[in-house]
Structures are given as structure tokens and as C-alpha cells.
Amino acid sequence: MGEVNAAIDVGKQQLEVALGSEGEQFTVSNQPAAIARLCKRLTQVGCARVLIEGGSSQNLLGAAL
């Protein structure tokens, strides 16, 4: 698979994820276990770039990525 990009809108309770050129969209909780699963998924699909839109609630996600 080629390079995949992801956009993540960070909220206090959840992350809204848009993945790839097909526009797959899904939501995960903004909790360490869910973020770890998201990072694994992004790695598996060959994610090259992540655009993060958010405020102070993005620290946990940023550290994991």
C-alpha cells in the first residue's frame, strides 16, 4: 500500500479520525489504550503523515505518535 495520510480532530473525550484518500472516518476514545490501538492501525496501513487539529487535549496523542 502507498503512503496514507490521516487527519485527527482531538476532543477531550474522543478522536475523530479521517484516514486515507477514500475518506474512511471513525471515532476512538481519547484514552491511552484506544490511542495505542490507533497508532498500531496507522502503522499497519502505512500512514506517512498525521494532521492533528486540537487544543490542550492532544498531548497524549502527540506523545504516542
- For residue 65, give the nearest of 17, 13, 23 by alpha carbon: 17
Q: Among residues of the chain, what percentage have pLDDT more than 90? A: 68
Residue count (the chain):
65
At 22 the pLDDT is: 83
Name the pTM for this structure.
Answer: 0.86
pLDDT at 1 > cutoff 60: no
pLDDT in tens, 31-61: 999 999 999 999 999 999 999 997 777 888 8
pLDDT in tens, 14-26: 999 999 888 899 9
Give the chain's end-to-end CA distance (angstroms, integer): 20
At 2 the pLDDT is: 66
